[in-house]
Structure 1
Amino acid sequence: MHLYGGTVAELARHIDDEAFIAAAERRFTEAFGHAPGPQEVQSWRRSWPALVKVLQAAGLGELYVLLEYCLPATGERVDALLLGTDASGRLCVVAIELKQWTHVQLSPLRPGMVRTGERVVQHPARQVGGYVHYLQQWVARDDYPLTVRGTVVLHDAPAHLVADLRAQAIRGPAATHPVLGRDDLTAHPTPEALAERLGCAGLKPCSRADVERFLTIRHRPSPALLERAGEVISGRDAFTLVGDQDLARQEILHAVEAARARGIKSIVAVTGGPGTGKTVIACRLLGDLCRQPDGNPRLLSPSGTLTRQLRRTVGDSFRGLITTFLNNVPAGITHDSVVLLDEAHRARTYPDHQHSAFPATLGKLLGQAAVTVVFLDERQTVRPTEGLTLQQLRQHAQHRGFSFAHIDLTSQFRCNGSRAYQQWIDQLFEPAGTVPTWQGTDYDLALAANPEQLDHWVTEHSRSGVTARITAGFCWPWDSPPTPPLLPEVTITWEGPNGPRTWARPWNSRTDTQHADHPDVPARPYWATDTGGHEQVGCIYTAQGMEYAYNAVIIGEDLVRRGDQWVAQPEESHDSPLRDLSPQRYLQYALNTYRVLATRGTRGTRLYSTDAITQNYLQTLIHPQDL
């Protein structure tokens, strides 16, 4: 997908026409389902004419140009691609990253990042290097040789800024991609010299057939990329399997091979509660599948937080293999693909789970791949726009004529391996009924008397070098600005021995990137793992899929205990998609939410309820925390 395609000379005839920008806006909206932001449109107005002027000055008017070219497997967009043929007659693609920068802040401590305004972004040479790597690994292949180059065009940047950016990119792959500023973008001494600076030396116009083939070629990972990914994943300690996890992995691989041998589309459902190893098994399976001949695997998750954590673990070079699954099926999934769908219970079911026979996007994914391995825990569905059951999968397979297999994971590897704790938590968050007193000795569970106790417990563990986090139900406003300092919105007042006391902490950051001036405030995807996360409160959308050693959970007043049953109070929620639900419907989402939050800790958990009656009830079940 792209917003414009044509020769540079053709583009030059339209680029100053406001109707051209309006047409680009319409095409963007049609392609992505939402309108481009005003800042993006303004960047088009400033950068596209500047690029056209430079390309014409370099004598490149007959080369083919694509504006806002989408890399389907990653969802990223290249500002501009130039297509031509090199001296050997091979198609050559030049990825161009455009910036309007006139000043940025650089730090030797973070050479791959720069700060512009309030944002911290990738160094542009690294950014364009990622595009080059993608085109080399997902498009070029033995039967389609392709030369790929990359260039950064900073058309407003003064010489000193360009020199600083070049110095920062002097090492590593980014050094191979030229960074050009305002003074570099003139035709002196010759147009040929400018073309060489742009990485376009010797390029000739390509045929329309070459363009058409490039636009229609199927994007899929190269064998070399898959082999490296398999080696990296196999070598990561984070993905080491223990006991029954490895047995489950082998059973799943056997089911996948059996499905392939039958030659019909197949679903393998893998069910298991929190801590049974669904994610680590999925990652190891991805490594196994990457090392098989003619593989075309993907690891998908509806959780952007989990996706980013996994990419950081295995390396960003493999980001097309591990991606977020929301409203569209990722590109490149074909009849030979094996797809691993982790956290499938969070798959989108728009408009509403109650009104749809089967989630449309998920159904398209299942119909496109050869085998889909679906990792599922029905009791982790926390919104009405999510949700999937084992029975739905089975019925869908029968209806579509797919083969179906089910593997249930039972061994517990989180919560210190305590099945007693997992079973007790499952009982605690049933809608009604008697809950036994906690008698377990293999997991550190206690009740905190107040939030200050929770805070002290988490802080002490963090100081000793282990991860500890506080989470809470979504019962407080979340209006902090996107950049720190964050507002202390989670505020709890209780009656202390000397009168009322108040404790307050901010929610975790709302943004996906860390602010340069606040290194103690992790970006949202890394709240569970990075330094400083213990000083903010995480919610279900930040914590789900994550784990940490010590886990403090604040049960808000959206879920209270009355007699032998839980009572939902959706009016106490600040989660707008949920607060308008009826109490009966809200109840299961609230129970699922707190069950998930209570199972994040690998070594210990502390519970605390802001509702006095519920806190008294918990005191009958759990020993109080030692002071």
Structure 2
Amino acid sequence: MIHKYQTTTTAGSAKSLPSVPPGIALAMHVYEGTVQTLAAQLPDPSFLQRAERRFTTLFGAAPTSQEVQSWRRSWPRLVDVLLTAGLGDLYVLLEYLLPATGERVDAVLLGQAPDGRLRTVVIELKQWTKVETNTARPGMVKAGERIVQHPARQVGGYVTYLQDWVSKDTSPIDVRGAAVLHDAPSTLVETLRSLTGQGPSSKFPILGREDLTPTPTPGALADRLTCGGMSAPDTGQLLGFLQARHRPSASLLKRAGGMIEGNDALTLIGDQDLARQEVLHTVTEVRGQARKGIVVVTGGPGTGKTVIACRLLGDLCAQPQANPRLATPSGTLTRQLQRTVGPTSRGLITTLVDRVPAGLQSNSVVLLDEAHRARTYPDHRRDPFPTVLGQMIERAGMSVLFLDEQQIVRPSEGVTLQELRQYAHSKGHTFRHINLTTQFRCNGSRAYLDWVNQLLQPAGPAPAWTGTDYDLDAAQNPHDFENWVTEHINAGRSARITAGFCWPWDSPSTPPLLPEVDISWTGPDGHLTWSRPWNARNEETSMDVPDVPGRPYWATDTGGHQQVGCIYTAQGMEYDYNVVIFGRDIVRRDNRWIADPAASHDTPLKGLPAHRYLTYALNAYRVLASRGSKGTRLYSTDPETQLYLQTLMPGRTNQAGG
């Protein structure tokens, strides 16, 4: 029996559709209805107001003024084009969310193709009249001050998502797409078309102002929009799409697994592989018990937690009825992992901040790397356990968390092994703990990491460094450590400079960046200064300044050594050689570290009492000191602390006494 229900309020009027089975969420979008209905409602001044309210309800934040202005300019133009092409009977969704990515499609058209299948057409709307392009980077364009994807590439990503993630529980769908630049002159359109070349983006049309006329016929315009021959969608097919579960397809999992299997950078050694096997065994065991399970893999820097997580993702992709995710609270690490695994990983590798990954089911396994950065709120938890983390564990069948408690660097982040054990016990979940001891970073030097841990204890003497398996020293001054970095870069090695968050970070989002990390000291030649910018804020590398990497790529891409990285860009990364600048937020006095939160520019930490600030600061410097795989130079802007560091180094007499 088919029941009726009223859909949740959209920007249009409510409509009656068959009820949704329990556990299946409706697709999230600002508007749904036929093109003709949309055309009738758009002139109503309250339409955009309802769209704004709907957007805020769905996505938890109001649309920006720029987004609303874009709707005001583009929606009427799209409707006019569709009506002119004779496509008024098609169903349209506006601001349609792709759950596994968090991205939204401007418009999705749904209709029945000539062969009887449901056809889905992705439409990306642009108001561009001019952009900057670079043939050396054909996948990107500069629109105003923003670096964005080439529109055909953007459409291609949306099409691939729908092919890979919309469950085929109903009849198969035919997915197409087009970029509609309704204000663009032919010269701009031709330039954009020339950049698509013969690659995958070339099959997605780019339509400008002159392409959106019914020339020679309305049917020809429909063809250009990839909607030729489409008619009103079948009700059953339409509901199948709106109620579809977004989960990875078998072909996506096969591609992702193959990419990981063939990546030599993800090879496991020793107890890394033992941990991998133990996790897989636990997954099988817990599934057989029809229970939920939590596995916590603990280990310090360089023990291989991230590599194990990637390998497990590949293993899980190959299992029957697989539905895995690899998540991390770090957007920087997410981007680097997606680059390592390849574009196939879109949606499978995601950032966990304030929303649980889409499509998790009782058979899902979630791998959470850097679980120590899991978000609490904002300092003290609203619940006994981090809310989003708890939601993720309860929706998935199995959760595998990779954890290092000594990398918790903010009061609004962090979960401990004991908290996870207690949570599992309270919920009746299976719990298992795996501890990694062998580390592969820092030249495999256990002695160096032990020394760093002793150095960064709140109080007590640190021993002089006597190790021979790691290149460690205290730099004499900033020119000294910069020359050291430059020598390694010129030799083809990777090297980076990092610092505590003790300088402002007010640079614009795009270069030129401000040289805000500024250090003064007195040397034999008198008073000297050194300054460099922090890493860029932008997520993407500027087309105009390719030697200033976007934030996620500061640690790996050319030119990153010319900016200074902070804890939030360095955490989770590694490079050959590493400089750590201690700011005046922690100084060494009387055999202990003294914290001064007022010297910090890290807003979430500035208001903390000194004893609490010290815990997070020591963890942050411990993380920074463990990024270099072959060598590290330490330097403090506080003269007394700098002398202390120097006296701990080889060949120096310990005069500071701690």
For this structure pair, what is the TM-score category when the shorter chain's length is used for normalisation? over 0.9
SS at match of 2:92: strand
**Aligned partner of 1:111: which letter?**
P
Hey, what does 2:480 align to over in structure 1? 453
Deviation, structure 1 residue 145 = 0.6
Q: Amino acid of the residue matched to residue 144 of structure 1?
A: S
For the pair 1:74 / 2:101, whether they are aligned, the reply is: yes
Whether contact under 8 Å (1:349, 1:356) holds in the other structure is no
Give the TM-score, by structure 2 length. Answer: 0.93
Conservation of the 8 A alpha-carbon contact between 1:81 and 1:95: yes
Report which stretch shifted further, 451-460 or 31-40.
Answer: 31-40
State the 1:355 CA deviation.
5.5
How far off its partner does 1:230 sit?
0.5
Deviation at 1:351, TM superposition (A): 2.9
- Tell whether the 8 Å contact from 2:547 to 2:559 is kept in structure 1 after alignment: yes
Name the structure 1 match of 2:406: 379
Q: Is 1:555 equivalent to 2:582 in the alignment?
A: yes
Aligned partner of 2:648 among 596, 621, 624: 621
* 1:212 alignment partner in structure 2: 239
1: distance between equivalents of 2:285 and 2:272? 20
Question: Residue 431 of structure 1: which of 454, 458, 466 is its match?
Answer: 458
Q: Report the equivalent of 1:508.
A: 535
CA distances 1:231-280 after superposition (whole Å, capped 9, x unpaired): 10011122111222112211221222222222100000000001100001
Matched, 1:40 2:80: no
Match of 2:559 in 1: 532
Which of 242, 263, 275 is 1:236 aligned to? 263
Kindly report which structure 2 residues correspond to 1:94-243, keeping only aligned pairs within 5 A, or say none: 94-141=121-168, 143-243=170-270
1:231–1:551 distance in 2 versus 1, CA, 3 Å: same
Cα distance change on mapping 1:39 and 1:354 into 2, 3 Å? closer
What is the match of residue 12 of structure 2?
Answer: none
Question: 2:340 is matched with which residue?
Answer: 313
**CA–CA separation in structure 2 for the residues paired with 1:46 and 1:242:** 56
Asked if the contact 1:86–1:203 (Cα under 8 Å) also holds between the matched residues in 2, the reply is: yes
Deviation, structure 1 residue 454: 1.1
Query: Separation in 1 of the partners of 2:135 and 2:530?
Result: 38
For residue 47 of structure 2, the aligned residue among 8, 20, 35 is 20
Q: Is contact 1:3-1:68 (8 Å) kept?
A: yes
1:266 pairs, out of 293, 302, 321, with 293
Q: Which residue identity is paired with 2:150? A: H
Which residue of the partner structure matches residue 351 of structure 1? 378
The runs of at least 4 consecutive aligned structure 1 residues that moved more than 4 Å come to none
Aligned: 1:486 with 2:513: yes
Shift of 1:188: 2.6
The 3 A distance-change label for structure 1 pair 418 and 457 is: same
Note if 1:522 corresponds to 2:546.
no
Give, in angstroms, the shift of residue 353 of structure 1: 3.7
- Give the Cα separation in 2 of the matches to 1:278 and 1:209: 46
What is the total number of aligned residue pairs between the two structures? Answer: 625
Runs of 5+ consecutive residues of structure 1 not aligned to the other structure = none
Aligned-partner Cα distance in 2 for 1:143–1:185: 33
Instruction: Answer yes or no: is 1:574 the counterpart of 2:606.
Output: no
Q: Is the 8 A contact 1:447 1:624 kept in 2?
A: no
Structure-1 residue corresponding to 2:387 = 360
**Contact 1:469 / 1:534 at 8 angstroms: preserved in 2?**
yes
- State how far apart, in whole Å, the 2-side matches of 1:115 and 1:56 are: 32
Aligned-partner SS, 2:123: strand
In structure 2, distance between residues paired with 1:527 and 1:76: 24
Q: Which residue of 1 aligns with 2:316?
A: 289
Match of 2:88 in 1: 61
CA deviations on 1:501-557 (whole Å, 9 max, x unpaired) are 111000000110111111110000000000000000000000000000000000011
Give, in whole Å, the separation in 2 of the partners of 1:456 and 1:585.
36
Query: Aligned partners of 2:598, 2:347: CA distance in 1, in Å?
Result: 41
Q: Which residue of 1 aligns with 2:431?
A: 404
Say if 1:81 and 1:517 are closer, same or farther in 2 by CA, change over 3 A: same
Q: Percent identity?
A: 64
More displaced, 501-510 or 26-35? 26-35
Tell me whether 213-222 or 412-421 shows the greater mean CA deviation. Answer: 213-222
Instruction: Give 1:384 deviation, angstroms.
Output: 0.6
* Separation in structure 2 between the aligned mates of residue 438 and residue 258 of structure 1, nearest angstrom: 46
Which AA in structure 2 matches 1:570? P
8 Å Cα contact 2:378-2:411 kept in structure 1: no
Distance 1:488 1:45, change over 3 A: same
CA distance, structure 2, for counterparts of residue 566 and residue 560 of structure 1: 6
AA aligned opposite 1:525:
P
Structure 2 unmatched ranges of 5 or more? 1-27, 653-658
Deviation at 1:164, TM superposition (A): 1.7
The separation in 2 between residues aligned to 1:577 and 1:39, in whole angstroms, is 29
Q: Equivalents in 1 of 2:517, 2:360: separation in Å?
A: 43
Moved more, 445-454 or 341-350: 445-454
In 1, distance between residues paired with 2:380 and 2:363? 30
Q: TM-score, normalised by structure 1?
A: 0.98
Structure 2 CA distance for aligned equivalents of residues 227 and 210 of structure 1? 27
RMSD (CA atoms): 1.3
Deviations 1:187-241, CA, capped at 9 Å, x for gaps: 1322111111111111110144433321111111111110111010011122111
Counterpart amino acid of 1:548? Y
- Residue type at the aligned position of 1:529: T
AA matched with 2:586 = L
SS at match of 2:504: coil
Amino acid at match of 2:221: L
Q: Give yes or no for the alignment of 1:86 onto 2:117.
A: no
Question: What residue number does 1:331 align with?
Answer: 358
Measured in 1, the distance between the counterparts of 2:245 and 2:287 equals 22
Query: 1:574 & 1:102 partners in 2: Cα distance?
Result: 40
SS of alignment partner, residue 130 of structure 2: coil
Q: Equivalents in 1 of 2:378, 2:81: separation in Å?
A: 47
Q: Does residue 1:422 correspond to 2:422, yes or no?
A: no
Q: Is the 8 A contact 1:84 1:205 kept in 2?
A: yes
Within 2, Cα distance between the matches of 1:591 and 1:44?
Answer: 48
C-alpha separation between the residues in 2 aligned to 1:106 and 1:264?
Answer: 53
The letter of the residue matching 1:274 is: P
What is the identity, as a one-letter code, of the residue corresponding to 1:171? Q
**In structure 2, the residue corresponding to 1:13 is in which secondary structure?**
helix
- CA displacement 1:122-166 (0-9 Å, x = unmatched): 111111011111111111536531111111111011112112212
The one-letter amino acid paired with 1:225 is L
Question: CA shift at 1:119, angstroms?
Answer: 2.0
Larger deviation, residues 519-528 vs 23-32: 23-32
Q: Which residue of 1 aligns with 2:3?
A: none
How far apart are 1:57 and its partner, in Å? 0.4
Equivalent position amino acid for 1:167 in 2: S
**Letter of the structure 2 residue corresponding to residue 310 of structure 1:** L
SS of the equivalent of 2:41 reads: coil
AA in 2 matched with 1:160: T
State the alpha-carbon separation in 2 of the partners of residues 256 and 36 from structure 1: 41
Matched to 1:583, the amino acid is A
The 2-side partners of 1:135 and 1:271 are apart by 36
3-state DSSP class of the match of 1:221? Answer: coil
Contact (CA 8 Å) 2:473, 2:633: kept in 1 or not?
Answer: yes
Tell me, yes or no, if the aligned pair for 2:169 and 2:244 is still in contact at 8 Å: no
Q: Is the 8 A contact 2:495 2:578 kept in 1?
A: yes
Q: 3-state DSSP class of the match of 2:171?
A: coil
CA contact 2:442–2:448 (8 Å) conserved in 1: yes
CA shift for structure 1 position 458: 0.7
